[in-house]
Amino acid sequence: MTRTGSGPGRRRILQGAALAATGLLLPATRADAGTAAVDYPSAHWNPASTSNYSASSRPSTYAVDRVVIHVTQETFGNTLGIFQNPAKAVSAHYVVRSADGYIAQCVREHDIAWHAGNWNYNTRSIGIEHEGWVDQPAYFTDALYTQSAALTASVCERYGIPKDRTHIIGHVEVPGTDHTDPGPLWDWVRYIRLVNGV
C-alpha cells in the first residue's frame, strides 16, 4: 500500500486518546512473528498491526540509507497501543523507552514503517521513536540516549549508512513534514558521538 499525504498527521494520531493495548492486540498472522523476529538482538518483538506498514523485502526492493529520529509525544505504552491499532495507519520500526532504554521492535527492518510522513523517506529509512515530549528534556535520559545510539550504530553498520547528521536525521528534517521532533532539546552532538562510540 502506497501512502499518500492524505489523512490525519502522525502527531495527531500519536496524541490521540490513550488506547487499551490489551484490547487491541491482534493474533500474529505473519510467519516471522515472535521473539526470533527481531533484527536487533537487544530489542523485544512487539508487532505493529499489519495494517500499519507495508510489507517489503528491503534492501533489495529499496535501499536503506537513512535513520529517522522521532519523539513520540506520547508514553511508551500508548505508542505501542497506537501502532497495534489497525485504524491508525502509523508505525515505526523501533520504540525506545525513556526510563531504562528498553527497545521494542514493532516492524521488521525489511518492511516499510509509516513514520516519516513522506513515502520516499519511508521506503529508504529506519524509523526510531523515543518516548517523551519535545519540550520535556527529562524524558531524554542517559539510558534512552545510550540504548538508542547503540541501535542506530547497529543499523548504520548493517546497511553501510554513514554515522553522520546527513544520514541520521530528525523527523523535522524530512521534506514536506510539519513535525518538529525530536525538537531543539534533543542533544544531537551527544547522540552522534554515542553512535560513533566516542
pLDDT of residue 84: 98
Q: What is the pLDDT of residues 18-47, one digit of tens each?
A: 333 333 333 333 334 445 589 999 999 999
pLDDT of residue 198: 76
Average pLDDT, integer, range 148-164: 98
3-state secondary structure the chain: CCCCCCCCCHHHHHCCCCCCHHHHCCCCCCCCCCHHHCCCCCEEECCCCHHHEECCCCCCCCCCCEEEEEECCECHHHHHHHHHCCCCCCCCCEEECCCCCCEEECCCCCCEECCCCCHHHHHHEEEEEECECCCCHHHCCHHHHHHHHHHHHHHHHHHCCCCCCCCEEEHHHCCCCCCCCCCCCCCHHHHHHHHCCC
Could you tell me the pLDDT band of residue 58, with boundaries at 50, 70 and 90? very high
Q: What is the pLDDT of residues 102-127, one digit of tens each?
A: 999 999 999 999 999 999 999 999 99
Confidence (pTM) = 0.83
Average pLDDT, integer, range 134-156: 98
